Amino acid sequence: MSWVNICEESLLPARRGVAAWVAGRAVAVFNLGEAGIFAIDNIDPATGVSVLSRGLLCELNNELYVASPIHKQHYSLTTGKCLENESLSVDVFEVKCQSGKVLARALAQGGVLR
């Protein structure tokens, strides 16, 4: 998948998530300041509802997670794995900033480009 422009970097709110479309997919984008910008599927695999961009951000054991606002499962922002249920995971998107724009492309499980 090629790089897709999500938005201007200046438009991302600090320490919160926003929903975006990347190649026809709902994506949750999180601006964590110096820690970086992260993007994962916005659809909660436990419920099928597009809500992860509204989840609570947290750090557990030096790993960044978003907790689903519905059932509170924690999904890693770097691997997509669910902390509570290893059968659940979300796709992770590679993110970069270039010329003031936030760009993303999908990664498969395990970090292999699709």
Q: What local confidence, expressed as pLDDT, does residue 2 receive?
A: 85
Q: What local confidence, expressed as pLDDT, does residue 54 receive?
A: 97
What domain count does the chain have?
1
CA distances for 47 relative to 73, 89, 91, angstroms: 11, 12, 15
Distance CA 15, CA 2 (A): 27
For residue 59, how many other CB atoms are within 10 A of its CB? 11
pLDDT values of the chain reduced to their tens digit, one per residue, 114 residues: 689 999 999 999 999 999 999 888 999 999 999 999 999 999 999 999 999 999 999 999 899 999 999 999 999 999 999 999 999 999 999 999 999 999 999 765 444 343
| CATH number assigned to the domain comprising residue 95 | 2.102.10.10
Contact call for residues 29 and 42 (beta carbons, < 8 A): no
Domain region containing 44: 4-111
Distance CA 85, CA 68 (A): 13
